[in-house]
Structure 1
Amino acid sequence: MKKIGKLILAAIALVMVNPLRGNSEEKNYLIANAEKNNSAVQIFRYYGNDRFETSTILSNLLSVRGSEHIFLVNGENFADALFSGPLASVSNSPILLTKKGELPKVVENKIAEMKVKKVTIVGGLSSVSVDIENKVKKMGIVVDRISGSDRFETAKKLSDARASVLGSKSSEKIAYASGTNFADALSATPFIYYDDVANILPQNNKPIVEYIPYKNESNKGNTLYIFGGINSVPQNVNSEYVTTRFSGADRYATSVEIAKECEKKLNSKINTVFIASGEDFPDALSVGPIVARHGSVVLLTEKNTLNSEVARFISERQIDRINIIGGESTISKNVVNEILELHKIQK
């Protein structure tokens, strides 16, 4: 897996040659230019009229030339889509959101604009209807679907697909997060990508072995990463693995702890951050692959207040770009003002 890790870091380096600044429309999303310690700091806000349009706008940050492969997930319920970010990241594919029974016109237009050749639908018919599947097929696009009997089996199949892309069915590392609360799993997407973790599983009050059919004696002693506190994932999950837990006092502080671990994997301080809502899932879900492919981190915030741990993380680094994901109904002006005050800068 070490070779895979080097390839992933090389891919990040290639993307970062032209990470977010190659988009000619980026000036439309710039909301603040400032100075911090004689270094330029820019704050951007990426958003659309709704979560569906926001996902199409975010897709531009992954590739200004469009993508031949996209993931299409339910943007109204995260159950099946929660663990799609790590697979989309390693596939270098954006995540677009849809309604359960209707493909939003803005998403349909984006798929056509990008000249997509393949769409992977995540979730069963109760998440993304057959009508949507047929509509995409009529656009001349190949469609496949990853789904299971419930969110946990769907997550397992996403994990298997990621392992297949990485070229291994027996990763030395396993990521484990709540399957019923979205925050920790979405914060973990970049770390999972940077550390080439193949197995990403939801906590389901069952032994991990039940979700890893290819586990054998040689797996004992391998690494288990747990994302979230004991209220999200019980303390004694599985004693056969060397366990590392990333958690803070709440989901916001946990996102900071994960971000710090991302820096260790990248062996460098983060200079670009993405800030997404920790109160609702769609924006953090859509931005996951973009954050991962650009060697960045996602920090969670409340709608009206910037968490103190998030503020400390930003203030202790030479951050030159802050990307706020979502409109003011998701992350208010007050959060932006707190960031500006944090840096003692003017709009």
Structure 2
Amino acid sequence: MENRKASSILCLFTILLATLTFTSKTQAASPDVTRISGLDRYETNLSIVKKGWAEAPNVIIANGENFPDALCAAPLAKSKNAPIILTSKDKLNSSALEELAKLKTKNVYIIGGTGVISSSIENQLKELGITCTRLAGEDRFETSVKVAEQLTTENGIAIASGENFPDALSIAPIAAKMDMPILLSSKDSLPNKVSTYLEDKNIPVSYVVGGVGVLSSDIKSSLKNPKRLSGMDRYETNIRVLNEFQDSLDLTSMFVASANNFPDALSGSVLASNYNAPIVLVDNAFGQATYDFLKQQNCKTVNILGGTGAVDAIAEYNLTNMVKYSNIVRVDDISDIAFINEDYHFPPKAIASFEDGSTKFVPVLWNSKKVDTSKAAAYQFEGTVSGYDGKVKLNLNVVADTDGSTRNIGNGTNVAYYKGYLYYSTSKDGNKVYRIKDDGTELTKISDDYALNINIADNHIYYSNSSDSGKIYRMNLDGSDKTKIIDKYSVFTVVKNYIYYSYKNQQESGFYRINTDGSNNTKLSNDYTYYSMSIADNYIYYANSNDNDSIYKMKIDGSGKTKLCSDSSTSINLEDGWIYYEAADGTFTEKGPGYKLYKIKTDGTERTKISDDFPASMIVYNGWIYYRSRLDGDNLYKIRVDGSNKTQLTSIRSEVISIIGGLVFYQAMDYSDGNFMIRLDGTSNSRFISTIISEKESNDTFASAMELNSSQNYGNAAPIRGRLEKDDVDFFKITASTSGYLNITFVSPSIGKNAVVTLMDVNGKTIYSTPAKYNGVTSFATMMYPGATCYIKLSSPHGELIESGLYDLSTWFTPAQ
């Protein structure tokens, strides 16, 4: 699954590692491409109406020649289940009148004053017995307010330029689906009538659609809960809007329209909304942002709005060959937890398997969006996925607390989630303990201890303190009141009010149970484990190091010890009544004894080999096993618990740490054991960074450049976080200590391709210069020798277009080959 825990955490760290992600090559079919068109905009408009409506008691009439008043019509049309019919200013043509008769229309909403749609059209409609309601203001801005007054703001608002049409068209079908009004504005300030309308409204989010070149920063700052959706041009803004709402869109169906004229996209906006589909705005030659978006989609149907004069035959050919579709054969059910009184967010996506063998996240529409978290309870919800006939189940447990019994979902490792915060330690900072809120705020170091095996329960953190020989400590969630609980190095887990632990030294060994406050230490068994234990349903499952690490279970009071199998294992995971483990099979490889992947029921029956792979550091989560493959260079893999859908996730040596929400946290052994995270479907591979260095102002001249001490490996690289303001330039200075390649990575989604990274020598001469891509990312490498110095200059050729110029800059050296 993927939920807020995952998406928020991923947004914290923006250095993407596309080169580390493995993507399999699969075959898929081309989509069905249909063109909805006519000889002109009015015939195209009526073709769209016929496609979507057999009857329509309500119809929206908008001007087909003059865009401003018409831009705000889509949400109103959706709310009335009404098509939009376009007209010239003075007269409805005969085809439009015939269509109104076929639709059995009773009510028409005319958008705009008589200067846009004349009273003669109103008279035509009245002659047909149709009731007319005109929504008009003194100008386009007040007209948008009049339309907005027919809607609500409970899902937010969209602010778009009233001086150009593409940005409003990008959000029109989405705003329509969300019952969200589109309000028009001038460039520099919010019109008075719009401001007055918004004054007393409860607005959860105000989407500002378009960059500061079309809607200024002053407009954004005047709004409640503003969020800008923009790119460097109309195409990038369109894709930015679609990416923002992709979790709520059905991307198996798509509408495509020209970005260079408004009628076709406006006509199709309500039809697209009825399919919960996006409108992709194109030119005949696709830009990189549009191309990348289309290539990523699993789309079955593409509807082109307009004739070849709007979207030409070459573009249609490219769509047919670029977009692919593969049938979904399975969607995974989801198990999740919510804390009592938590504002629970339903996971927007689930993992789907396709007939071409690939897996990816797909949006889920749940049968409910509300859950009572006021008390502990278990719930089951059903969801649907477009293009899949089956149902998806969400099994949700509302709990007062979590403990080691839920370690498969992010407890008992170096990363743990607890009541809205992520707690973690990383070797990049001496395994000191940090916490950060799941919205990306409040990053705080809470302990200087070298902490491993973090367990969180009952508002306390329990951990192995390697600063004190691995003894077990606990502390409050803010790091206060640190207390030593167990004075021995131990394998342990916390369940309910007890710590279960096992150890062996020269004097003694065994399994023990102790209260979480350190009292009532009780020996349970003379058995011990060096490796792994899991607790479920009042049983301890463990690899018994007294018996060649065979798998045993015993009750939590130490009674009922049972040997389940003789397999020698170092890792045990439990899920849904099964034990999953890696075990030696008697063979030998160049890496030592051979291990295979097995499962066995918790009663010791139905021992089954899952895979001949050589797994290590595995975690079982929601029906999948995530592990490091010793047979394939220690790359990260996943495989279903039934042995199907084996999928490579990374092409670097990796060690699985934890799984939380929709993210796998892992160590990259090829990068000095740096911590990384990747989505469960293998996308969005990125650094998990504990230390961020702030840019030191003033560094806006060559002489005042901020000096960087670049690491010798990417895993050790700490990013510089800075901000490019209007007319700002930032300089950085680097001196090489050894021969090697200096690697430079710049990331700033907010600046996008408006950023330029320049490498300069000590005399200020440009060695290399490159703009960022549309997504704000660029990277390159240059050879340096000991003692050589270079400068990095960050700038923007169009600084006036920057509103929030936050960026991350990372540098590191790699040895020369």
TM range (shorter): 0.7 to 0.9
How far apart in 2 are the matches of 1:210 and 1:133?
26
How far apart in 1 are the matches of 2:129 and 2:173?
32
Secondary structure of the structure 2 residue equivalent to 1:236: helix
**AA matched with 1:226:** V
Q: Give the Å deviation of 1:308.
A: 2.5
Q: Give the Å deviation of 1:192.
A: 1.6
**AA matched with 1:337:** Y
2:217 to 232, 235, 241: 235
* Residue aligning to 2:129: 140
2:185 to 191, 203, 216: 203
* Residue aligning to 2:237: 254
* Residue aligning to 1:58: 48
Question: For the Cα contact (< 8 Å) 1:306–1:338, is it kept in 2?
Answer: no
Q: Give the Å deviation of 1:330.
A: 1.1
* Residue aligning to 2:264: 283
Question: For the Cα contact (< 8 Å) 1:262–1:297, is it kept in 2?
Answer: no
1:84 to 73, 76, 92: 73
**AA matched with 1:249:** M
Secondary structure of the structure 1 residue equivalent to 2:146: helix
* Residue aligning to 1:309: 289
Question: For the Cα contact (< 8 Å) 1:273–1:299, is it kept in 2?
Answer: yes
Against the structure 1 CA distance between its residues 293 and 227, is the aligned structure 2 distance closer, same or farther, given a 3 Å change threshold?
A: same
Question: How is 1:40-189 mapped onto 2 (pairs within 5 angstroms)?
Answer: 41-63=31-53, 65-163=54-152, 171=154, 173-189=156-172
How far apart in 1 are the matches of 2:323 and 2:179?
34
Question: For the Cα contact (< 8 Å) 2:294–2:323, is it kept in 1?
Answer: no
Q: Which moved more, 1:141-150 or 1:205-214?
A: 205-214
Q: Give the Å deviation of 1:129.
A: 1.0
* Residue aligning to 1:339: 319
Q: Give the Å deviation of 1:44.
A: 0.4
Against the structure 1 CA distance between its residues 105 and 242, is the aligned structure 2 distance closer, same or farther, given a 3 Å change threshold?
A: same
How far apart in 1 are the matches of 2:195 and 2:217?
19
**AA matched with 2:42:** F
Secondary structure of the structure 1 residue equivalent to 2:149: helix
How far apart in 2 are the matches of 1:187 and 1:297?
8
Against the structure 1 CA distance between its residues 161 and 183, is the aligned structure 2 distance closer, same or farther, given a 3 Å change threshold?
A: same
- 2:203 counterpart of 1:213: no
Against the structure 1 CA distance between its residues 258 and 244, is the aligned structure 2 distance closer, same or farther, given a 3 Å change threshold?
A: same
Instruction: Deviation per CA, 1:120-142: give whole Å up to 9, x if none.
Output: 11111111111111011101111
Question: For the Cα contact (< 8 Å) 1:208–1:238, is it kept in 2?
Answer: no
Q: Give the Å deviation of 1:278.
A: 0.5
Against the structure 1 CA distance between its residues 234 and 242, is the aligned structure 2 distance closer, same or farther, given a 3 Å change threshold?
A: same
Q: Highest relative contact order (Cα 8 Å, sep 6+), 1 or 2? A: 1
How far apart in 2 are the matches of 1:70 and 1:343?
34
- 2:183 counterpart of 1:224: no
Question: For the Cα contact (< 8 Å) 2:299–2:324, is it kept in 1?
Answer: no
- 2:262 counterpart of 1:272: no
Secondary structure of the structure 2 residue equivalent to 1:324: strand
TM-score under structure 2 normalisation? 0.35
**AA matched with 1:203:** S
Question: For the Cα contact (< 8 Å) 1:176–1:225, is it kept in 2?
Answer: yes
**AA matched with 1:47:** S
Secondary structure of the structure 2 residue equivalent to 1:79: helix
Secondary structure of the structure 1 residue equivalent to 2:243: helix
**Larger C-alpha radius of gyration, 1 or 2?**
2
Secondary structure of the structure 2 residue equivalent to 1:92: coil
* Residue aligning to 1:167: none
Question: How is 1:31-46 mapped onto 2 (pairs within 5 angstroms)?
Answer: 37-39=27-29, 41-46=31-36
**AA matched with 2:156:** K
Question: For the Cα contact (< 8 Å) 1:209–1:215, is it kept in 2?
Answer: no
**AA matched with 1:316:** Q
How many pairs does the alignment contain?
298
Structure 1 unaligned spans of 5+: 1-35, 164-169
How far apart in 1 are the matches of 2:149 and 2:237?
26
**AA matched with 1:323:** N
Against the structure 1 CA distance between its residues 207 and 130, is the aligned structure 2 distance closer, same or farther, given a 3 Å change threshold?
A: closer
Secondary structure of the structure 1 residue equivalent to 2:217: coil
Relative to total residues, which structure has the larger strand share, 1 or 2?
2
Secondary structure of the structure 1 residue equivalent to 2:207: strand
How far apart in 2 are the matches of 1:209 and 1:172?
22
Question: For the Cα contact (< 8 Å) 2:209–2:229, is it kept in 1?
Answer: yes
How far apart in 2 are the matches of 1:118 and 1:56?
18
Secondary structure of the structure 2 residue equivalent to 1:237: helix
Against the structure 1 CA distance between its residues 210 and 79, is the aligned structure 2 distance closer, same or farther, given a 3 Å change threshold?
A: closer
Question: For the Cα contact (< 8 Å) 1:187–1:255, is it kept in 2?
Answer: yes
Question: For the Cα contact (< 8 Å) 1:72–1:120, is it kept in 2?
Answer: yes
1:326 to 296, 301, 306: 306
Q: Give the Å deviation of 1:210.
A: 4.5
Q: Give the Å deviation of 1:230.
A: 1.1
Question: For the Cα contact (< 8 Å) 1:89–1:288, is it kept in 2?
Answer: no
Against the structure 1 CA distance between its residues 136 and 79, is the aligned structure 2 distance closer, same or farther, given a 3 Å change threshold?
A: same
Question: For the Cα contact (< 8 Å) 1:101–1:131, is it kept in 2?
Answer: yes
Relative to total residues, which structure has the larger helix share, 1 or 2?
1
Question: For the Cα contact (< 8 Å) 1:184–1:255, is it kept in 2?
Answer: yes
Against the structure 1 CA distance between its residues 43 and 172, is the aligned structure 2 distance closer, same or farther, given a 3 Å change threshold?
A: closer
How far apart in 1 are the matches of 2:291 and 2:302?
12
Q: Give the Å deviation of 1:172.
A: 6.1
Question: For the Cα contact (< 8 Å) 2:141–2:193, is it kept in 1?
Answer: no
Q: Percent identity between the aligned chains?
A: 31
Instruction: Deviation per CA, 1:159-182: give whole Å up to 9, x if none.
Output: 11123xxxxxx5362211101110
TM-score under structure 1 normalisation? 0.80
Against the structure 1 CA distance between its residues 145 and 46, is the aligned structure 2 distance closer, same or farther, given a 3 Å change threshold?
A: same
Secondary structure of the structure 2 residue equivalent to 1:274: strand
How far apart in 1 are the matches of 2:149 and 2:198?
13
Against the structure 1 CA distance between its residues 214 and 277, is the aligned structure 2 distance closer, same or farther, given a 3 Å change threshold?
A: closer
